[in-house]
Structure 1
Amino acid sequence: MMRRLPPALLVAAVIVALGTACGGRPAPAPPASPAPATSAANALPHSGAPKVEHPLPASALSGNPCETALTADQVERIISVAPAGKLRNIAGLGPSCWWSNIDSGSAVSTGYVTEDRQGLSAVYHNSKPKSKLWRPLPPVQGFPAVAFRADLGDDLCQVSVGTADDLSVDVTITLGESKKGNTDSCTVAGQAADMVIANLRRRAGS
């Protein structure tokens, strides 16, 4: 960042936080870091980020993402089990939740980026220059999105979806051992992001 670090660096931070008990590498919640200040010169969106034409209300991203981002059935579809989510509040960004399959090493995390008020503009400003893979996606449930990762061969991918010009949702996937090398982690992250945004739309009544 400034607002998000490249996914490869995020892994180490979360492994330290969770310790070795998880048995696999969980999808990380990004650490806090400063975002570019909004001014008349860089009014949102900026840095090439697309405008969110029909934003979700901020209330859709309120509360605990462990309870609102994914259902237990959806978590099981993504990582083959449905463990309890682990909540983490990231200062300067917002709440995040991750779910980990300790047997396979796969994981999914979702973060509601509500505090830096930069939306996808911060991702385009900070993460795009550092990413070896940068893939703008077709709209996710009608909202602009991009998939990215630091290394081309990485088994981790983050998808960021702009729910408003100043708000976004991050969904990060870490592939399990059996899928490494034969599954595109960004495709899986896009599918998981579609589930999350669909749930948030229903929550907002849209």
Structure 2
Amino acid sequence: MRANRALQTLAFAAAALAGITGCSSTPVATPPAPSPSSSAGTLPHSGAPKVEHPLPASALSGDPCQEALTSAQLKEILGTAPQGARDDSAVGPACNWHADAAVGVSYATQTHEGLSAVYKNTKPQSKVWRPLPAIQGFPAVGHAPDSSDTPNDFCQVSVGIRDDLSFDTSLFLSSGKVGKADPCELAAQVAGMVVTNLRARAGA
């Protein structure tokens, strides 16, 4: 049941990023891929910070199940290294790993607006919205949707690697850590691992 709720929350978060949810807290079906808005030519917008030292777009060209996190990193996060399950959406490719806790990584390659899409579409639908310190120089924000039954056990961190590209790390705390650990802090640590791997892939 916990894994099902995690998947529902991740689906809602992806839908919010694509800008296709309303005010309902019920997760929606995966929509058609969004088209770039007219504001995409003037990035960043909607209050999103600029990415000062961008990575090449090729950094997000791989399979997140294979390249976002290593087995050693998964063991550090989850205590085990389960096989990842692809869970692509209109936003881009994504992968989820489930144990007692759950973690997901998605590459937002289809919005073409990077963090600007997060600030424009996700912020208005978020119960938690927390700008974070830059992760290895890349701007980041933590958030949780209104659909989250218990926002103290879930957080999604969005990181801009270019003005037009971003990725998300989503984390559900294990039952033993709910109320004892900050999910946004841990999701930010996961995001740092992903940044390390993306920089290595890009040769940066």
Compute the TM-score of the two structures, normalised by the length of structure 2: 0.82
8 Å Cα contact 1:35/1:116 also seen in 2 = yes
Going from structure 1 to structure 2, the CA distance change for 1:112 and 1:133 (only over 3 Å counts) comes to same
Distance in 2 between residues matched to 1:143 and 1:77, nearest whole Å: 23
Going from structure 1 to structure 2, the CA distance change for 1:35 and 1:124 (only over 3 Å counts) comes to farther
SS in 2 for 1:51: coil
Give the structure 2 partner of residue 119 of structure 1. Answer: 114
SS in 2 for 1:132: strand
Going from structure 1 to structure 2, the CA distance change for 1:122 and 1:36 (only over 3 Å counts) comes to farther
Spell out, residue by residue over 1:28-77, the C-alpha distance to the aligned partner (whole angstroms, 9 max, x if none). Answer: 35245565743269721110001111111011101201111000010111
Report the identity percentage: 50
Q: Which 5+ residue runs of structure 2 have no aligned equivalent?
A: 16-29
Distance in 1 between residues matched to 2:196 and 2:183, nearest whole Å: 20
8 Å Cα contact 2:93/2:106 also seen in 1 = yes
Compute the TM-score of the two structures, normalised by the length of structure 1: 0.81
Distance in 2 between residues matched to 1:28 and 1:37, nearest whole Å: 22
Give the structure 2 partner of residue 195 of structure 1. Answer: 193
> Between Structure 1 and Structure 2, how many residues are aligned?
183
Give the structure 1 partner of residue 141 of structure 2. Answer: 146
SS in 1 for 2:141: strand
Distance in 2 between residues matched to 1:132 and 1:76, nearest whole Å: 30
Q: Cα RMSD between the aligned structures? A: 2.4
Going from structure 1 to structure 2, the CA distance change for 1:120 and 1:36 (only over 3 Å counts) comes to farther
Shift of residue 142, structure 1, vs aligned partner = 0.9
Given candidates 123, 128, 135, the residue that maps to 1:133 is: 128
Give the structure 2 partner of residue 62 of structure 1. Answer: 61
8 Å Cα contact 1:38/1:44 also seen in 2 = no
Distance in 2 between residues matched to 1:68 and 1:41, nearest whole Å: 28
